[in-house]
Amino acid sequence: MFYYIAQAVAVSMYVIGFTEAVFSAFPALELSFQMVATLTNILVFACVYIGAGWTIKIQYVILAVLMLSVGSFWVGGLMNASMDTLSSNMEPQWTAEYGFFGVFALFFPAVTGIMAGVNMSGDLRNPSRSIPKGTLMAIGLTALIYASFAVILAACNSREALLGHSFVVKDTAWSGLLIYAGVICATLSSALGSMMGAPRILQAFARDNIFPWLKGFGRGSGVSDEPRRAIVITFMISQIGIMIGDLDTVAPIITMFFLITYGTINLACFDEMISRNPSFRPTFRFNHWSLALAGALGCLAVMFLINWVWAIAAILLAGGTYALIARAEIIVQWGDVQSGLAFQRARKALLRLEQESYHAKNWRPSTLALSGGAWNRLNLVKYACLLSADRGTVSLAQIIIGNLDDRIALQHEAERQMRKFISEERLAAFPVVVADESFLQALKALLQCHGIGGLRPNILLLGWSGDPSSSTVFTSILSLAKRMNRSLIVIRRHKLGVDLDDPVGLINIWWNDSKNAQLMLLMGFLLRENRAWRGCPLRILRTVPPLADVDNVLKEMNKTLSSARIFADVVVLPTDDPLEAVRRAMQPSAVLFVGFEPGETDPGGILAADLQDIMGLPGDVILVYNAGDVSLTA
C-alpha cells in the first residue's frame, strides 16, 4: 500500500519536473505553472487510461529522444572538460540549506524505477527471468549515466554555477534544445511509468481483499484487464501533489514511502531466508540473508538521517497498517512470512528441548482435554485454558467412534469445525480429532502419539461423569491415564457454577494428601494468574484429626508455601468428618481442588461411586491426580 502511495505521488513529482523544463524552454509562456502541470497530468492520465500497450509504444519514442539528449550532454561536456576544474570540485562543501541527506532525499526518487518491472509483472511474458535481468541491467546502466553526469558537470563548471544555475546541464551540453527535449521526455516517461505501474499495484492489493472498501479498485476493464478505476484514483492523488507545486516538498515524502517499501521488501526476504521456507525458491542466484538484512537496516538508517520526524511517522503508519491487516485475519493466496519464522523458531526450540534433560523446575502443563464436541462443553474447554494460564499447551481432543475408512470425511469436518470454534472463542488451544472403533484404543493412541518431543501431553483433563451406566468407561479412562504416567484433572461443573469470565469467591484447595496437593497448589496458582481470577484469594483447607497439633501443622504448611513461593491463606480443620468440615469451611467458593487416587484397574466403577460424595459439594469441584513429575520446591 505504501509503495502504491509513493508511486502515485511520484507522478506529481515527475509532472512538476516536466513543467519546470517547459517553462525553462519557453519562458514567454503565459499559462500558470499549475495549469501546465494539470494539463500534463491529464495527458498522462489519458495515455495510460487507453491501455498499457499504447503507453509502452510511446515509451520507445521517448527512449530514442533520451539517448540523443544524453549523447548531446556527453559530447558538449567532453569538449569543455578541464582537469583543474574537476579537481577544484572534488571536495564537498555542504551548506546549511543543502546537506548530504537533504540532497539524497531529492535525488533518491530518480533511482526508484528499479521496481518498474515488478509493477508490470502481469504484462511480462516471463517475469521470473525478465525482472531480475532487466532490473540489474537498468541499475548498472543508470548508475553509469548518473556517475558520468556528476563527473562531467564537475569538470565543466565552477562551483558557483553548479550551486546557482538550476539548468546547468543545458549550458554544458552540445545542444541545449536536445537537453530540453530529453528532460521533457525523461519526466514524461517517468510520469507515464508511475501512472501505469501504481494502479496495477492498487489493483493487486484490492484483489487480495485486505480492506473491503478497496474491493472496487480490483476490477479490470477490457481484454487486457486494465485497472481503470485505480488509474482514476491515482490521477486524483497525483493532482493533489501538483497543487502543492513544490518539488523540494514532494520529493522527501516520496523518498520516505519508497525507503519503507524497499526496507520491508528486504526484511521479508531476510525473514524467508532465515526461516528456511521451502516455498521461497528465488531463481535469482545471487541472494543471501546478509544482503537482505543490510538492505533493510540501510533503508531504516537513511530514513532517520533524512528526517527523523518523518521517519517515525512513516514507521508508525506502516505499523498501524500492519496491525489492521493482522487484526482482519484475512485468508489470502500469498503466504505469511511470520508463519515461516514461527515454524523455524518452534523447530529449533523443540530440538533444544529434546537435548535437555528433564528437570521438575521446567515443568509446564501440557493438557490433553477430552472435550468431545468442544462447542457443547465450552466451560470444560475454558477451564483447560485457564489452568494453563498461557504457561503451557492445551489440545482439545475429540474421539469419533467407528471405522476410520468410513469416518475420514467426518474427521476432517470435525477438525475444521473445532478450528473455527477455537478461533471464534479466541482460545489458546490446538485441535485434535481421531477416529477409532474403540474409545479406549483411540485414547491410548492419543496419549502415546499426540504431540512432539517435549510437548507431549502430561495431563489428561476430562469432565466428571455421574452417569452410572458410563462409570465403567469413565474409571477405565482414569486407570489408563495412571498406567501411562499421566496426571489427571477431572472437572465437575455445578449447574449454578461460577462465571469463568467473572468469578466470585475463593479458590479452595483441600489438602488431603501431600503428593496430589503439590499439583493442586500449582493449578490453583496458575488459575489465579488469569486476569479475571486475580480477585479470588487462594486458600488451603487442611483437614487433620481432632487431637492434632494445629499450631505445628500450620507452621509446616506456611513453611511449605514459603518454599513453594506461593501466597495462600491456610485454614487447619481438626475433625472426625473431613468432608463435612470442608463443606462448612469452603464458602464462599469459586472452585474446590481435591486430590484423588485412581486405581490401576477399576472395572466395576467402584472409584466413581466413592467420589460421589465429594462431587456433591457446592460449587465447581476439580479432582486432581499427580503422576509425580511436579515439585513445588523446584
- Domain 2-247 and domain 489-634, same fold? Reply is no
Q: Residue 430: how many CB atoms within 10 A of its CB?
A: 17
- The string of DSSP letters for 231-279 reads HHHHHHHHHHHHHH--HHHHHHHHHHHHHHHHHHHHHHHHHHHHTT-TT
DSSP-derived letter for residue 307 is -
H-type alpha helices, 26-126: 33-50, 52-80, 83-88, 100-107, 116-119
Q: Which residues contact 472 (CB under 8 A, 6 or more apart)?
A: 603, 604, 605
- Cβ-contact 395, 457 below 8 angstroms: yes
β-bridge mates for residue 589, sequence order: 506
Question: What predicted TM-score, i.e. pTM, was given to this entire model?
Answer: 0.58
CA 518 to chain centre: 38
Predicted local confidence at residue 581, as pLDDT: 93
Q: Compute CA distances 353 → 2, 363, 453, 455, 490, whole Å.
A: 41, 12, 7, 9, 29
pLDDT computed for residue 194 by the predictor: 80
User: What nine digits make up the cell of 276?
Assistant: 528456511
Q: Please state, in angstroms and rounded to a whole number, the distance separating the CA atoms of residues 534 and 8.
A: 52
Are the C-beta atoms of 610 and 461 separated by less than 8 Å?
no
CA distance 467 to 124: 69
Neighbour-count burial of 147, counting CB atoms closer than 10 A to its CB (0-12 exposed, 13-18 middle, 19+ buried):
exposed
Give Dmax (Cα) for the chain.
116
Coil/strand/helix, residue 630? coil
Parse the chain into domains and list their residue ranges.
2-247, 357-463, 489-634
- Give the DSSP letter of residue 140: H
Cβ 429 vs Cβ 450: under 8 Å: no
Distance CA 536, CA 108 (A): 60
Question: Three-class SS of residue 622?
Answer: strand
CA distance 616 to 620: 10
Q: Annotate 467-478 with DSSP letters as a single string.
A: -GGGHHHHHHHH
> Which three cell numbers, joined as nine digits, stand for 287?
541472494
Q: Which three cell numbers stand for residue 88?
A: 577544484
The grid coordinates of residue 521 equal 497448589
Q: What is the pLDDT of residue 614?
A: 87
- The DSSP code for 211 is S
* Fold designation for 489-634: Rossmann fold (3.40.50)
What whole-number distance in Å separates Cα of residue 397 and Cα of residue 392?
Answer: 16
DSSP assigned state of 510: E
Low-confidence residues of the chain, pLDDT below 50?
331-334, 604-605
Strand order, beta sheet including 506-510: 430-436, 393-401, 366-370, 459-463, 487-492, 620-625, 589-595, 506-510, 538-544, 569-574
Q: Name the grid cell of 18.
A: 516536466
Q: Yes or no: is domain 2-247 CATH 3.40.640.10? A: no
At 471, give phi and psi (nearest 5°).
Answer: -65, -35
3-state secondary structure 318-385: HHHHHHHHHHHCCCCCCCCHHHHHHHHHHHHHHHHHHHCCCCHHHCCCEEEEECCCHHHCHHHHHHHH
C-alpha separations of 322 from 304, 318, 319, 325, 615 in Å: 20, 6, 5, 5, 50
C-alpha cell at 515: 503428593
Residues 6+ apart with CB under 8 A from 5: 237, 257
Distance, CA of 595 to CA of 522 (rounded, Å): 13
Distances (CA, A) of 520 to 162, 250, 291, 390: 81, 65, 53, 17
Q: Which three cell numbers stand for residue 526?
A: 496458575
- Beta strand 487-492 pairing with 620-625: antiparallel
**Rounded distance, CA 423 to CA 419, Å?**
6
**Architecture of the domain delimited by 357-463:** 3-Layer(aba) Sandwich (3.40)
End-to-end CA distance of the chain: 51
